[in-house]
């Protein structure tokens, strides 16, 4: 089933003769024919679709395990693609709410990445936690799209469409009249007009609306500041763009992101870091070219390792779902031309990028082009036509293998659906896969196109407010949007500011910004005069290590926030990272960081010589004999309006026996009473794990948190850890000057 990964489906069928017994007889076959994953109904549906693929003794229909549940398969053919997205969301919501929280898993698998935005909107409108998986799909999420658009505008004067996205987006909301004025200004400045360059010279303010001119001017200043950062490391620049746009605050504030949070932004930052570490010249144009390739290729780029996440509905392509499984799986888009994909030739005789079949290792399984005995060019053309037809037929067979993979990802419940109309002039034909499922499964809904029927999606003119209201409802969501709640919150903030805002009420927006900048500079100069106690606002985001620093030495943290400096290279950090990486591999987890990504990695004195001693010491500890429930658990939680981020090394135990969060330390055990602030780290981990498990803040007795000093074999558990209120008080106390 994995032909698209370079394997050949025919290899296993030839295995008995390729590796015969010593007497020359074919090797015996012992089929592994029991599925330990799928419910009975799910496996029956998959076997129905795969029946056409089975030939020879090496291909058998899988049977369910004896204690397998019945499960359920629901199929439907909806009227429009929008109806299908709503149907999938409603069915997924029903299945989601029917299962107890804590370990729920669900996925929506698509054949094309272009299906993702509509489905993601529908799922979010249904109140489900949504995560788009894979780099190609990641680029379709609004917050990542805004970051990528900003990167394009910074380096490409012709990135007009990217700039238009930003100008009409939720942050600026520039209307058509101001966009037209900006375009006219661009044509005045140069024959080949560049709207990006026009931001640096807007011309007379009277050409724009007062609000539009102020917003565009401010955004031009923002882009100029970011361009001065183009020489920074790529991950740092991406993080700067994210903070400048405020998309991190936006996703943190959205109620539909309370579970997934900034997961998409973090994964995009990881992609930028990986690109920077793997590329000699990690420039912004090179990174954008890489992203373009990821968006254009359906599965041409090697995907990163995908992991099943609990308590969220994951959206990804079928290709990326290889080897994974979920409780509930939806497979939309079962229409002709999408799944199976529109037939296309991958014929080496027509395409120069295809390796000729005679040179391939799997040539025995591919259609052969035979030109022996041809008499003229007409004969050659006929042979080429026959060969191309055979290549297309084999591609259709690979689509059937692919849909079998998709169907068998479901453990308990499978949703399979198609539709009649999308944006085309003609109705979509039903997928042969969905038609075959209908022979044994009664559909929940089934629409057939009426003769000469008009497309309901294009029959009537559609209207919408533009630019769209960022606080309005999701597309297709009948519930009210967030505007009333956001405006109420904004009113509370303005009221809390008191008379401070009234002092500059008669000034222009730019003058008020200048006044604020001058006030900040003067306050910073005054604070610098008293280095013993710099006054620095606590940021809205803190790492757990910064939370520890806040308790240990708030003034040192203030200095670090005011004037960030690179950390001194440390071989100890490299050794600790190497040990953590070994532990991740020991428990088959995906490494969080490579050894070369932390301070000290490039230091000539870095030495991993004592890594073996750390491994030996760990194997002698009681933790070596235990299997963790989770490793490398990333989290975000909100405390007193501050988002605290961190990553726990390992968690042992269960709900029944209680949980233990363990943080591995590769250094020596500190003397008693000398590192009390470190307990803040464990307090944050304990609270974060409790929230991930749905445990109330006031019921933390079932969650322990300890340090294990690997080198010494000593496990230390603080006698008292701060609870949620204690951590909030820490933040509140240190907010005051």
pLDDT tens column, 441-469: 999 999 998 888 888 888 777 777 777 77
Could you give the angle at which helices 142-155 and 234-245 cross, rounded to 10 degrees? 110
User: Is the pLDDT reported for residue 56 higher than 70?
Assistant: no
| Residue 736 confidence (pLDDT) | 40
User: Is the pLDDT reported for residue 413 higher than 90?
Assistant: yes
Exposed e or buried b for every residue in 207-223, given b needs 16+ CB within 10 A?
Answer: bbbeebbbbbbebbebb
| Residue 565 confidence (pLDDT) | 62
pLDDT, mean of residues 246-273: 76
Of residues 93 and 538, more confidently modeled: 93
Give a three-class secondary structure readout of 29-78.
Answer: CCCCCEECCCCHHHHHHHHHHHHHHCCCCCCCCCEECCCCCCCEEEEEEE
Taking the model in full, what pTM does it have? 0.61
pLDDT, mean of residues 543-551: 84
pLDDT digits (tens, 9 = 90+) for 149-172: 999 999 888 888 899 888 888 888
User: Is the pLDDT reported for residue 261 higher than 80?
Assistant: no
Vertex 82 angle, CA 140 and 163, to 5°: 35
Please report the beta strands in 501-540, taking only residues with DSSP state E, as ranges in sequence order: none
Q: What percent of the chain has pLDDT over 70?
A: 85
Helix runs in 529-568, H state only = 544-552, 554-562
Q: How confident is the model at residue 496 (pLDDT cuts 50, 70, 90)?
A: confident
User: Is the pLDDT reported for residue 132 higher than 90?
Assistant: no
Lowest mean pLDDT among 50-59, 451-460, 567-576, 634-643: 567-576
Q: How far apart are CA 537 and CA 562, in angstroms?
A: 9
Helix (H) or strand (E) segment spanning residue 385: helix 377-407
3-state secondary structure of 733: helix
Q: How confident is the model at residue 701 (pLDDT cuts 50, 70, 90)?
A: confident
Q: How confident is the model at residue 559 (pLDDT cuts 50, 70, 90)?
A: confident
pLDDT, mean of residues 575-581: 71
Of the candidates 350, 264, 305, 237, the one whose C-alpha atom is nearest the C-alpha of residue 592 is 305
| Residue 24 confidence (pLDDT) | 93
Q: How confident is the model at residue 598 (pLDDT cuts 50, 70, 90)?
A: very low
CA distances, 583 to each of 79, 618, 623, 659 (Å): 52, 9, 11, 19
User: Is the pLDDT reported for residue 606 higher than 60?
Assistant: no
Of residues 531 and 511, more confidently modeled: 511
pLDDT, mean of residues 76-88: 95
User: Is the pLDDT reported for residue 300 higher than 60?
Assistant: no
pLDDT, mean of residues 568-583: 64
Q: How far apart are CA 368 and CA 391, in angstroms?
A: 9
Parallel, antiparallel, or unpaired for β 642-654 and 658-665? antiparallel
pLDDT, mean of residues 517-540: 69
| Residue 495 confidence (pLDDT) | 82
Under 8 Å between Cβ of 546 and 538 = no
Vertex 112 angle, CA 108 and 117, to 5°: 65
| Residue 336 confidence (pLDDT) | 92
Q: How many CB atoms lie within 10 A of CB 114?
A: 13
User: Is the pLDDT reported for residue 572 higher than 80?
Assistant: no
Under 8 Å between Cβ of 272 and 236 = no
Of residues 504 and 125, more confidently modeled: 125
Q: How far apart are CA 410 and CA 72, in angstroms?
A: 10
Of residues 344 and 123, more confidently modeled: 123
Lowest mean pLDDT among 180-184, 229-233, 409-413: 229-233
- Of 277-281, 450-454, 668-672, 674-678, which has the strongest mean pLDDT? 450-454
Of the candidates 129, 134, 139, the one whose C-alpha atom is nearest the C-alpha of residue 251 is 129
pLDDT, mean of residues 595-609: 38
Q: What percent of the chain has pLDDT over 90?
A: 26
DSSP-derived letter for residue 8 is -
| Residue 23 confidence (pLDDT) | 94
Vertex 412 angle, CA 410 and 414, to 5°: 55
Q: How confident is the model at residue 593 (pLDDT cuts 50, 70, 90)?
A: very low
Q: How confident is the model at residue 297 (pLDDT cuts 50, 70, 90)?
A: low
Exposed e or buried b for every residue in 417-449, given b needs 16+ CB within 10 A?
Answer: bbbbbbeeeebbebbbbbebbbeebeeeeebee
Q: How confident is the model at residue 404 (pLDDT cuts 50, 70, 90)?
A: very high
Helix runs in 569-723, H state only = 571-586, 611-619, 679-692
Q: How far apart are CA 538 and CA 603, in angstroms?
A: 33
Lowest mean pLDDT among 55-59, 194-198, 422-426: 55-59
Give the up-direction half-sphere exposure of residue 473: CA atoms within 13 A in the CB hemisphere: 12
Q: How far apart are CA 284 and CA 233, in angstroms?
A: 10
Q: What is the mean pLDDT of the chain?
A: 82
Q: How confident is the model at residue 134 (pLDDT cuts 50, 70, 90)?
A: confident
pLDDT, mean of residues 537-562: 78
| Residue 158 confidence (pLDDT) | 87
First vs last Cα of the chain: how many Å apart?
Answer: 64
- Of 412-421, 551-560, 582-591, which has the strongest mean pLDDT? 412-421
The torsion angles phi and psi of 284, rounded to 5 degrees, stand at: -65, -45
pLDDT, mean of residues 643-659: 87
User: Is the pLDDT reported for residue 386 higher than 70?
Assistant: yes
Helix (H) or strand (E) segment spanning residue 342: none
| Residue 27 confidence (pLDDT) | 93
- Of 79-83, 269-273, 541-545, 719-723, which has the strongest mean pLDDT? 79-83
Q: How confident is the model at residue 502 (pLDDT cuts 50, 70, 90)?
A: low
Of residues 590 and 32, more confidently modeled: 32
| Residue 25 confidence (pLDDT) | 94
| Residue 429 confidence (pLDDT) | 93
């Amino acid at each position: 089933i994995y032909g698209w990964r370079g394997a050949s489906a025919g290899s296993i069928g030839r295995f008995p003769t390729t590796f015969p017994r010593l007497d020359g007889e074919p090797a015996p076959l012992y089929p592994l024919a029991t599925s330990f994953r799928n419910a009975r109904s799910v496996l029956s549906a998959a076997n129905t679709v795969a029946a056409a693929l089975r030939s020879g003794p090496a291909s058998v229909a899988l049977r369910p395990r004896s204690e397998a549940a019945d499960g359920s398969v629901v199929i439907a053919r909806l009227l429009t693609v929008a109806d299908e997205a709503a149907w999938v969301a409603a069915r997924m919501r029903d299945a989601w709410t029917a299962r107890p929280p804590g370990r729920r898993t669900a996925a929506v698998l698509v054949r094309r990445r272009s299906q993702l935005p509509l489905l993601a909107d529908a799922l979010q409108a249904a109140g489900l936690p949504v995560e788009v998986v894979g780099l190609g799909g990641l680029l379709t999420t609004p917050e990542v799209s805004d970051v990528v658009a900003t990167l394009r505008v910074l380096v490409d004067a012709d990135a007009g469409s990217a700039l238009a996205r930003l100008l009409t987006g939720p942050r600026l909301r520039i209307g058509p009249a101001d966009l037209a004025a900006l375009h006219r200004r661009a044509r005045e400045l140069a024959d080949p007009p560049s709207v990006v360059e026009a931001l640096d010279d807007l011309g007379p303010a009277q050409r724009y609306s007062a609000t539009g001119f102020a917003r565009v001017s401010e955004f031009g200043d923002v882009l100029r500041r970011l361009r001065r950062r183009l020489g920074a490391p790529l991950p740092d620049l991406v993080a700067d763009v994210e903070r400048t746009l405020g998309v991190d605050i936006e996703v943190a504030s959205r109620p539909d992101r309370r579970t997934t949070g900034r997961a998409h932004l973090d994964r995009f930052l990881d992609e930028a870091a990986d690109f920077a570490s793997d590329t000699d010249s990690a420039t912004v144009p090179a990174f954008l070219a890489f992203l373009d390739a990821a968006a254009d290729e359906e599965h041409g780029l090697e995907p990163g390792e995908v992991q099943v996440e609990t308590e969220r509905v994951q959206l990804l392509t079928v290709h990326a779902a290889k080897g994974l499984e979920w409780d509930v799986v939806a497979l939309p888009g079962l229409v002709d031309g999408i799944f199976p994909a529109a037939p296309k030739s991958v014929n080496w005789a027509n395409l120069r990028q295809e390796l000729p079949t005679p040179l391939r290792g799997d040539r025995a399984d591919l259609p052969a082009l035979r030109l022996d005995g041809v008499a003229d060019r007409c004969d050659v053309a006929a042979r080429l036509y026959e060969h191309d037809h055979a290549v297309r037929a084999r591609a259709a067979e690979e689509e059937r293998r692919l849909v079998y993979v998709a169907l068998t990802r479901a453990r308990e419940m499978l949703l399979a659906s198609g539709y009649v109309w999308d944006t085309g002039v003609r109705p979509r034909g039903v997928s042969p896969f969905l038609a075959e499922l209908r022979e044994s499964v009664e559909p929940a809904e089934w629409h057939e196109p009426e003769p000469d029927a008009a497309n309901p999606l294009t029959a009537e003119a559609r209207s919408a407010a533009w630019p769209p209201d960022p606080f309005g409802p999701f597309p297709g969501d009948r519930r009210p949007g967030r505007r009333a709640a956001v405006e109420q919150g904004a009113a509370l903030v303005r009221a809390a500011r008191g008379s401070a805002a009234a002092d500059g009420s008669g000034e222009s927006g730019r003058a008020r910004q200048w006044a604020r900048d001058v006030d900040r500079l003067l306050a910073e100069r005054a604070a610098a005069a008293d280095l013993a106690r710099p006054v620095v606002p606590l940021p809205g985001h803190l790492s757990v290590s910064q939370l520890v620093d806040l308790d240990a030495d708030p003034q040192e943290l203030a200095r670090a926030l005011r004037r960030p400096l690179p950390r001194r290279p440390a071989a100890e950090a490299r050794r600790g990272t190497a040990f953590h990486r070994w532990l991740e591999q020991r428990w088959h987890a995906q490494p969080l960081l490579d050894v070369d990504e932390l301070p000290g990695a490039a230091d000539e004195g870095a030495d991993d010589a004592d890594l073996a001693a750390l491994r030996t010491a760990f194997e002698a500890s009681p933790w070596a004999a235990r299997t963790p429930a989770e490793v490398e658990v990333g989290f975000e939680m909100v405390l007193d309006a501050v988002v605290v981020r961190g990553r726990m090394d390992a968690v042992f135990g269960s709900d029944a026996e209680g949980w233990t969060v363990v943080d591995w330390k590769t250094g020596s055990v500190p003397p008693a009473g000398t590192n009390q602030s470190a307990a803040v780290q464990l307090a944050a981990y304990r609270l974060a794990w409790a929230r991930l498990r749905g445990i109330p803040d006031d019921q933390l007795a079932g969650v322990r948190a300890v340090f294990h000093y690997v080198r010494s074999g000593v496990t230390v558990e603080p006698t008292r850890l701060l609870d949620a209120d204690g951590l909030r008080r820490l933040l509140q106390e240190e907010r005051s000057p």
